[in-house]
Homo-oligomer: A and B are copies of this chain.
């Protein structure tokens, strides 16, 4: 089974300022036993991963967009981060 078939939706640019780096992180937790929600550590992982990224790049709260979906057999987490661009600032 292919995980991440749920992605593939093109995201429209949020701002006109397209000269930014972007980091997209997708996590999928596929469970063998349906309904075993006790093993659902995606929310904790989300915090930890964002903290890990912050060790390398300064990112603000408003630069992080998180989407989580919980299913019976698969939970998924999507984190989109606008990185401080190395390019020249427009505006």
Contact = CB atoms under 8 A, between A and B. Distances in A.
Contacts of A21: 29-32, 39
Identical copies in the complex: 2
A80 to B, nearest CB: 9
A85 B27 CA distance: 17
Interface of A is mostly: loop
B39 A30 contact: no
Interface size class of A (residues with CB under 8 A): 35 or more
A66 interface: no
A17 to B, nearest CB: 10
8 cross-chain pairs, A with B, having the tightest CB-CB distances, nearest first:
A48-B52, A2-B10, A41-B56, A26-B26, A22-B30, A19-B32, A4-B7, A3-B24
